[in-house]
Structure formats: structure tokens, C-alpha cells
Structure 1
Amino acid sequence: MIKYELLTQQLLHEGTATASDFFEPSKLCPDIDVLRAHTDQYLKDLKELTLDKKAIRKTGFPFSALLVERELRIAQGTIDGCIKAYDHRIAMNIAGGTHHAYTDHGEAFCLLNDQAIAARYLQHHHLADKILIVDLDVHQGNGTAQIFQNDDSVFTFSMHGAGNYPFKKEQSDLDIAVPDGSGDDYYLNELKNTLPDLIHQEKPDFIFYLCGVDVLESDKLGRLSMSLEGCKRRDEFALSAFAKARSQNNSFPPIQCSMGGGYSPEIKTIIEAHANTFRAAREIFM
């Protein structure tokens, strides 16, 4: 997608980031890491290109080996970002946020769930015990909710459009369904009344943040009415709350952000909204 290239160029142009701030995934995500979040048969069908036509239609993508490689690379980028977050407090995947991928199938432009794979990686390698996933994309993180539905060590929080896809929601540990047409004040009040208490309650060792900008009024798929300024304030508030968080052992939890969705008609709107997330992260953490 062109937004990945343009966002990188914008961050470099304005000085929010330098070339040394960027990294590329070290490799494609290995099967052993994918299989902690997805089934063996599903991964086999992806890699051997044997998904049936119905399963392919659910993903919304023309299916190809290059697409599978892209998803494996995104997942590894999120894992690598997690490791970097231990040194820098926060790391950003300029792609990712593939929260509609279930254990055994993909949906809505998501084949592999990058943050779920990375969460399992951290736990497997004893880097984190309690994990909090904060999903503020306009669409519910249904795949993430399903993957962790019986896992008390990962708390899933999704704040999403009530009338938006998926029309049959899964049950996260905490869901806030925002009515269609809601603007900045309603959304931000809900978030402010929820997120700090949730962080204090859970005391996570690691925080994942899915910061989709499809909450904007201009978004073709969003159905909410948030302004660019409101979306910026959302990220500033969330990242500030994460910066103040304390884990069970009273340390500061690292944060990994995946950018998620953004479908406004004008690409400059999408780039500006995503760039605001990076600007807020630099201001708060660096």
C-alpha cells in the first residue's frame, strides 16, 4: 500500500524520524512462532496456496504467495518491534494491526494476526507474563478476541464502532461499542473513563496498541465522526496513559504499536492522521 511509503517519507521530511529510527524485519516469521496463534492446517493452506475459494473470499484479497510473504514479514516486524521496545520503551510497525485474523482463518484483509503472534512470542520466551492489547481501530478486533478467549494472561480491550464490521462481534475481555456518528467528545470521554483504570487494574508487563485511523469522519468505512484533531488527542491520551503504566513488579511496560486501518478518500488525510501517532510517541517517550 502506498500509505506505508508516503508515511515513511513524511516522517523523514518533517524530522519526526531519522533514517536510523527505521528497521526492516529480520526475516519472515518462522512457522514455530506463527503456530502459537494459528492452527497448523491454516498455516499449511496459506503457504501451499491451498485455501478454498470461500476462505479466500473472506480475506478480501487476491490470494498469492507474495501476499502470504507480506503477512509473514509484517508479523516478524511486530515481533522485532517488541524486542526493540524493551530498549526504547516503544516501537511502531508502520503496517500491521491485522486483528481480523482468527486462529484458523483470515477475514477483512487480515491473514495472520501480527499482535497475537507477537504476544505469544513474548510469553513463550518469558519476556512478559501479563499482556494488555488495546485496540482502538474502528472495527472490533474479532480475531484477537477469539484467539485469546480462554487466556487470562492476555487482556483484550476493543473500542469500536457499534454498527460497523464485523456485524457479528466476538467477545473481548472488554468491549466498548461506540454509536454510529459519535464525535470527538463522546469518544474521548469514553476512553478517558476507561483506559487508565484498566491499565491500573491489569498492571501489564507489555502493552500492544492498535491505533487505526479509520475513526475519522472522512473514512469510507468508519461510520464515526471524529476529527483529525480528535484522533490526535486519542493517541496522545492513550500513549500518555501507557507511559504512566506500571507492571506487577512496578516496572514500566514496553509498548508496541501497529498502525491498523485508514480509508479516507484523500491519502493526505490518512498520512497526517498516522503521522500524528508517531509525533505523539516521539513527544511522550523521547
Structure 2
Amino acid sequence: MLAFHSDAHSLALPPGHRFPQSKYRLLREHFEREPGLLRMQPAPAATEGELALVHTPDYIDAVLHGHLSAAAQREIGFPWSPSMAERSRRSVGASIAAARAALAEGVAANMAGGTHHAYADKGSGYCVFNDVAVAARLMQAEWSRSRRELLQVLVIDLDVHQGNGTAAIFRDDGTVFTFSMHGARNFPFRKEPSDLDVELPDGCADAAYLGALEVALDEVWRRCRPGLAFYLAGADPHEGDRLGRLKLSNGGMVERDRRVLDALRERRIPVALSMAGGYGHDLATTVAVQVNTLTLAAASWAAWQAAAATAVSERGTG
């Protein structure tokens, strides 16, 4: 399975900063030690034109050329630096590349991304540009040019924090269905309405979570017929997360990912994953959760390839 990484571009964070940027390097290094599952590639940088499919020109200029105000940097949570701007462009580029690969092969991944708190005109909550929103808009444009038909997009956001920026960007847009399942009392404290929001109480554990997910997915399939999905597979619902406030076990997280990936594959809906949040007390725990997610995604990719090979064989003998 193709997976795109952008951890070469680091953030200039002060000591003690809560953002665990090293997890992206650790995730890549894990799969370098165990080759075979992922075809890892460095992420390309999104162009200004691609960013402009979602973000306002003034905001793009401020990020890329260092004009963000002190207040804007505080809301994002990162100090500006050239590397911060480049990292943000490549995080978007990774989701663009993963979406193209998913449309070709069934499943692909951004080994970071999921920056769902970014709005069209501002960043927030460790999110600078909204990678999924930009990738969705670009895939729709490319699909329309090549197929002369509309690409319906589904966003499945299972980060523990509501995808407020994504919901705002696609508000009243019938071509993109946004589904977010998140902690009711967690950040952001002012939620934006998604097409489908499921709010969970603090301490929600495996059985209640998976039951809510099943009901929500049934509603998604009733209301949406997508040609492409983006799955924000946040690790922060895990019981070991510092910021999550939910109580999913390792097994619960694996079952969450399996149910989402199986449901998409059964419906032949290509999916681009992003890792989204994860802030474990023990960073190794967060990395292990995301290793499991990518391992399951690679297995789903392999099943897509097997099904495609079978279909070609049947056509050849029919």
C-alpha cells in the first residue's frame, strides 16, 4: 500500500510543548524496520493553486511568507517558521497523493494529516491547512475533467475532537458528506454542524463506542453514495491518550478500524487514510495504535488487489 510521509520538516517547538511531532518519525521508522506492508514515499508539497481550492489567498500568503499574526500563531498552536510552512504544504500534498493512489488502488495513506480544525481563512488546534478538504476538492476537479461527472466524497472523522474546520468548509455542500464521531465535552468547545455528528460522553468504552459507530455508519450509507472516502483514523479515542477522555482499548481501536475499512471495501469505495490526533501519555502507545491502523489498511489494500485480479481473470475466461 502506498503511504506518504512528511516528517523531514520539523516544527520549532519550545521545550515541553504538547504536540508530539516525533510520533510521525517513529511511525515511519517502524515500517522501515518491517518492510513489505507499505510502499513509503516522501510527500510532495501542495501548490498555492491547490491550497486555494479551499483556503483564502490572504491566509495562504500569511502562512507561506511568514505574515501570520501572533494571535493567529497562538490559535494554531505553533510558532511560524519556514519549516512549519513547508511541513504544512507537504501534509496537504500527502493527502492529495494518497487520494489519487486510493482512486487507483483502493486504499492509500497519509502518515500524518487529518488537520480538520483548519478553516478556509485560519488555522486552529495544531492544524494549519485542511489537508482532507484540499484533497477532496482537487479530486473532484480532476474527476470532473476526466470523467465528466461529479465525484461524491465522504469524510469519516473518528478523531476524538470534532472536525469543525472541515464541517465549516463543506457546510451546505451536497457533494461532500461530513461525518464526525467525537467527545461531546472535548475541544473544540464551539462545534460546527457536520452532516452527521455523533457526540460521546467522557469515559465511553469499547461496546458503547462500537455500537454508536455501527448505527452511524448505517445512517451514512442511507444518506450518501460516495465515490471516494477520507478516513481520519485518530489514535486519541484510546484509553491511554492525554487529551482524549474516552476509554477505547487496543482491541476496541482495532475493531473500529476494521469495521470502517471493511464497510468501505464491501461497497467498493476507495479510501485515503490520515492519522489525525494522538497524544498518549506514553508516545509509544500512540505509535502502536497507528501502526495497527496502517497494518489493517494494508490488509484491506491487499484484499482490493485480490478482488481486482479475480475480476480480470473472470473477464478473461468469460
Distance in structure 2 (CA, Å) of the matches to 1:86 and 1:116: 16
Q: Describe the SS at the equivalent of 1:177.
A: strand
* AA partner of residue 176 (structure 1): V
Q: Does 1:179 align with 2:201?
A: yes
Structure 1 residue 255, shift from structure 2 partner: 0.6
Select which of 268, 273, 278 maps to 2:289.
Answer: 273
Contact 2:103–2:228 (CA under 8 A) maintained in structure 1: no
Q: Deviations over 1:76-121 (max 9, x none)?
A: 1110111111222010100000000000000010000000000000
1:248 is matched with none
Question: In the comparison of the two structures, how many residue pairs are matched?
Answer: 277
Q: Does 1:261 align with 2:283?
A: no
Structure 1 residue 33, shift from structure 2 partner: 0.8
* AA partner of residue 87 (structure 1): A
1:17 is matched with 37
* AA partner of residue 214 (structure 2): K
Structure 1 residue 200, shift from structure 2 partner: 4.5
Distance in structure 2 (CA, Å) of the matches to 1:63 and 1:182: 36
1:157 is matched with 179
Distance in structure 2 (CA, Å) of the matches to 1:10 and 1:98: 23
* AA partner of residue 11 (structure 1): F
Structure 1 residue 284, shift from structure 2 partner: 2.6
Structure 1 residue 53, shift from structure 2 partner: 1.4
- 1:234-245 matches, within 5 Å, as 234-245=256-267
* AA partner of residue 36 (structure 1): L
Which blocks of at least 5 consecutive residues in structure 1 are unaligned? Answer: 246-251
TM-score with structure 1 setting the length: 0.93
Distance in structure 2 (CA, Å) of the matches to 1:9 and 1:47: 29
- 1:1-286 matches, within 5 Å, as 1-15=21-35, 17-18=37-38, 21-26=39-44, 28-126=45-143, 129-245=151-267, 252-286=268-302
Contact 1:16–1:279 (CA under 8 A) maintained in structure 2: no
TM-score with structure 2 setting the length: 0.84
Distance in structure 1 (CA, Å) of the matches to 2:286 and 2:179: 24
CA RMSD of aligned residues (A): 1.3
* AA partner of residue 262 (structure 1): G
Distance in structure 2 (CA, Å) of the matches to 1:3 and 1:64: 20
Q: Deviations over 1:10-67 (max 9, x none)?
A: 234345625xx111223x2111110111111111111221111111110011111210
- Worse overlay, 86-95 or 98-107: 86-95
* AA partner of residue 50 (structure 1): H
Q: Describe the SS at the equivalent of 2:255.
A: helix
Distance in structure 2 (CA, Å) of the matches to 1:170 and 1:75: 22
Q: Deviations over 1:236-276 (max 9, x none)?
A: 1111111112xxxxxx2211000001101112201110011
Contact 1:196–1:241 (CA under 8 A) maintained in structure 2: no
- Worse overlay, 1-10 or 129-138: 1-10
**Percent identical across equivalent pairs?**
39
Q: Describe the SS at the equivalent of 2:108.
A: strand
* AA partner of residue 189 (structure 1): G
- Worse overlay, 49-58 or 208-217: 49-58
Structure 1 residue 150, shift from structure 2 partner: 2.3
Distance in structure 2 (CA, Å) of the matches to 1:84 and 1:227: 31
2:311 is matched with none
